[in-house]
Structure 1
Amino acid sequence: MHQPRLWTKNFLIDAVTNLFVYLVYYFLMVTIAAYSSDHLQASPSEAGLASGIFILGALVARIFAGRAIDQVGQKKILYCGLVFYLITTLLYFVANNLMLLFVIRFLHGAGFGISATATGTIVAGIIPCARRGEGTSYYAMSATLASAIGPFLGMMLIRQGDFDTVLILSVILLAASLIATFFLTIPEVKFTKEQMDKIKGFSLHYFFEIKAIPISIIGVLIGLSFSSILSFLTSYTREINLVGPGSFFFVVYAASILISRPLTGRWFDQRGENFVMYPSFFLFAIGLLILSQAHHGFLLLLAGVFVGLGYGTFLSSAQAIAIKVSPAHNMGLATSTFFSFIDGGVGIGPFLLGFLVPATGFRGMYLGMVFVVFACSFLYYFLHGKKTPGMETA
């Protein structure tokens, strides 16, 4: 049977735009703490705040962006997000004190949140319904590529003490994204009068898509678990004398996602979400378990493989579920709801886990995350898994 076309001009433009948006995020996320310490004399806690306040800005923006997309329009919000993201990137050039840097980081996070929510919503309307899982998986690979290239390139540049080059490269990427967006054609979403009245109203459920909340709740816990790697892997590898292999962890992590995404996306469409979701929890937990027991480089990188297979599969599949269970006219709200919860978990995780590390050590913390991820598989069953139809054969 003939399948609807996936790799269209609009899909490619949106995916590349998303790649650039996330590259800028990773460039600065891995360099801003070192920059604030070296050039603005920030303490370790202040440097951590300079990094983490970006996530808070993204979280706040995502909450409002989903509603704004439905009210104002997808392409207009993408324009606004990219312009704001670009302007706040330029502001780093005048950040000469910590307080100003905190304000810029928060606003920069808001620009990222608006842009990323818009690109995610737009691609949901571009992908044919029959290829929802496959298309979402391919699209999510743009963020995966950024997670490998961004930290590697950013850390290489900051080691040379060249933060301005990081900023210039970020400005170029965002300017290119803004230009490319002019050539993007977005399918029109038509609303009934009743839907428009709801969009214009004011209530908590107008900022969150209620039907996307169950899978998003699981996203909070998965995001919290993943934040243990994002925030503490560098310190952990220093403690266990595996800094060299540790620098390649996210490269291996990204490679495993890139290899597996085409398969997991097809399985999602052909055999149902449960077929990929339950293994994703198991593989992520195994990755954390191996990480907690790593004593040499091979095991550390093997953990990266399993984390990529588990967390990477969860992220794209859970996003597809959030969109699938929500009304078509609320795709923007569903996307922002899901990623707001993910951002919340990733953002609050380092703060909460920071209290755990002194008591358990890094190995104990990662072992604790194994149980959290396994618990998520049971939570998934009760919140969504048992409600889905039986698996279909390919």
Structure 2
Amino acid sequence: METSYWNRNFILILIGNALLFMVYNMQVPVLPLYGKKLGLTPGQIGIFVGAIMFAALVTRLFVPWFSERFSKKILLMVGIFLYLLAAVGYPLLGSFGLLVLLRLFNGLGHGLTTTYFATSAADELPHQKIGEGMGYFGIGTMVTASLAPLLALAVVQHYSFQAFFLTCIGILAAALVAILGTTAKPRRVQNAVKAPVFDRQFLPQCGLVFILGILMSGVMTFTPIYAQLRHLTAISGFFFVAAIAGVVIRPIVGRTFDQRGPRLILMLSTGLLLIGVILIAVVTSNWLLIIAGIFYGVADGAIYPTLQAWLFKVTTIDNRDTATGMFLNAYDLGMGLGAVSLGWLVEGVTYQGMFWVLALVSLGYIGVALRASRSTNQLD
């Protein structure tokens, strides 16, 4: 009889991950507005927001070294503490240089937590349930992400940015408590040959998630400001319906992946992503912004977990940390480069022009996704 993966460790890891990503998603709509309030230019806002991704990328280059010397529980605790350090510093340090420095510390924590939350959850799952289990793992993230923009913008609008950062600190403390309650698994004895930080067999998934990161960075970083310039008030609703759509679609996506592999899901979801980006580019009303959020949310809720589950299907336990580090680095590199380059692009072609560029990238993404998965059918 198959043992359920719904054990204490998996549940606490899911909760800790969900709380951490709640803070991340609370910062998505607020930090650009915070930067604008401080007088930063669009290019500076892009650097401020995107710096977290570059620091996370560098951190993950040391994943094999970390895994040899520390338990995943310890690494998760350190990562959450670095998130806490940044949250304390944001309201205290107002200069551009110091904010970027704090964002880099935030990125060190982001690199550790995103890597080891995902691999810790995967370690609790039977191989034949990877798609389903990671789908439910992602639901925890999406549920809190659905609440994050509503809570974040409400706190900022009714109280202050300082109250917002205090809220982040409280949520991160709860995530730390959740991880303290887990049982650390013994570190595996490594083979004589160290696992590499780069492996060509993971390039299809990493290439696809890199492009996804560019697209997501444009939507998440600049939609709040674009909506504000268009005198729209439904930006929190946009992120809310996007997260709800992601929650609804993930169990369906997980089961479909386990049965049919990634190709069908990628074909449909990349098309929906294109529609969502076009709707943002032409948005003229709150209702149209909400509809765009639904398309964007379904696409985001389908593409990312499909690529992640596909990655775990082609890895072994020994190279899982390396694969996850590569995958998340590719995503964060896309997010970081996207935020910075698109911020500069805005200064030349306006916000609407930037979203039309993203629509062209989305169109090309459909073809790239189908090509990368063309030889992939049912995965054993």
| 1:17-166 superposed matches below 5 A | 17-36=16-35, 38=37, 42=40, 45-65=43-63, 67-92=65-90, 94-95=92-93, 97-166=95-164
Classify 1:30/1:368 alpha carbon distance in 2 versus 1 (closer, same or farther; 3 Å): closer
Q: Measure, in 2, the Cα distance between the counterparts of 1:312 and 1:280.
A: 9
Q: Deviations over 1:235-275 (max 9, x none)?
A: 3324444x123331111111111111111111111222223
Note closer, same or farther for the CA distance 1:33–1:292 as it changes in structure 2 (3 Å cut).
Answer: closer
Residue of structure 1 equivalent to 2:214: 224
Work out which of the residue numbers 236, 248, 269 in structure 2 matches 1:280: 269
| Count of aligned pairs | 380
1:37–1:256: structure 2 CA closer, same or farther, 3 Å change rule? Answer: closer
Name stretches of at least 5 consecutive residues in structure 1 with no aligned partner. Answer: 200-205
Quote the Cα distance in structure 2 between the aligned partners of 1:107 and 1:50: 12
2:361 corresponds to which letter in structure 1?
A: V
Taking a change above 3 Å as real, the CA distance of residues 66 and 123 of structure 1, as seen in their structure-2 partners, is farther
Q: 1:299 to 1:42 in 2, by over 3 A?
A: closer
Report how far residue 368 of structure 1 moved: 3.5
Tell whether 2:194 aligns with 1:198.
yes
Change (3 A) 1:90 1:3: same
CA RMSD of aligned residues (A): 2.7
* CA-CA distance at 1:278 after TM superposition: 1.6
Deviations 1:319-365 (A, max 9, x none): 11122222221212211211111111111113323454466554444
- Specify the alignment match of 1:350 in structure 2: 339
**Are the aligned partners of 2:80 and 2:176 in contact in 1 as well (CA < 8 Å)?**
yes
Structure 1 pair 276–36 and aligned structure 2 pair: CA distance change class (3 A)? closer
Shift of the 70–310 alpha-carbon distance from structure 1 to 2, 3 Å rule, reads: farther
Q: CA 1:189 to 1:317, structure 2 compared with 1: closer, same or farther past 3 Å?
A: farther
**TM-score relative to the length of structure 1:** 0.86
Tell me how far apart the structure 2 counterparts of residues 239 and 86 of structure 1 sit (CA, whole Å): 32
Q: Given that residues 262 and 377 in structure 2 are in contact (C-alpha distance below 8 angstroms), is that contact kept between their aligned partners in structure 1?
A: no
2:299 aligned residue: 310
Q: Which has the higher contact order (CA 8 A, sep 6+)?
A: 2
**Cα–Cα, structure 1 residues 349 and 99, in superposed 2: closer, same or farther, change >3 Å?**
closer
8 Å Cα contact 2:139-2:247 kept in structure 1: yes
The answer on whether the counterparts of 1:140 and 1:316 sit within 8 Å (CA) in structure 2 is yes
Q: Is the 8 A contact 2:131 2:258 kept in 1?
A: yes
Q: Distance in 2 between matches of 1:373 and 1:350?
A: 16
- 1:293 maps to a residue whose letter is V
Instruction: State how far apart, in whole Å, the 2-side matches of 1:365 and 1:100 are.
Output: 28
* Secondary structure, aligned partner of 2:319: helix
The aligned amino acid for 1:220 is F
* Structure-1 residue corresponding to 2:245: 256
How many angstroms does 1:135 deviate by?
A: 1.1
CA distance in 1, matches of 2:177, 2:358: 42
Partner of 2:325: 336
Could you say what secondary structure the match of 2:182 adopts? coil
Q: Is the 8 A contact 1:223 1:345 kept in 2?
A: yes
CA contact (8 A) 1:136 1:265 kept: yes
3-state SS in 1 of match to 2:220: helix
Q: Where does residue 10 of structure 1 map in the other structure? A: 9
Q: Separation in 1 of the partners of 2:110 and 2:16?
A: 12
AA of the residue aligned to 1:174: L
1:267 equivalent among 256, 271, 276: 256
SS of 1:131's partner is helix
Judging changes above 3 Å, is the alpha-carbon distance between structure 1 residues 281 and 96 closer, same or farther for their aligned structure 2 residues?
closer
Contact 1:287 1:304 in 2 (8 A): yes
Residue 376 (structure 1) aligned to one of 358, 365, 368: 365
Cα gap change, 1:235 to 1:149, in 2 (>3 Å): same
How far residue 286 of structure 1 moved from its aligned partner, in angstroms, is 2.0
Any idea what SS the aligned residue of 1:329 has? coil
1:203 — aligned with what?
A: none
Do 2:55 and 2:108's aligned partners in 1 also have CA atoms closer than 8 Å?
Answer: yes
Structure 1 residues 376 and 4, CA, compared in 2 at 3 Å: closer, same or farther? farther
Is contact 1:89–1:171 with CA below 8 Å preserved after alignment?
A: yes
**TM-score under structure 2 normalisation?**
0.89
Deviation at 1:154, TM superposition (A): 1.8
Residues 148 and 337 of structure 1: CA distance in aligned 2, closer, same or farther (over 3 Å): same
| Percentage of matched positions with identical amino acids | 26
Q: Distance in 2 between matches of 1:46 and 1:361?
A: 15
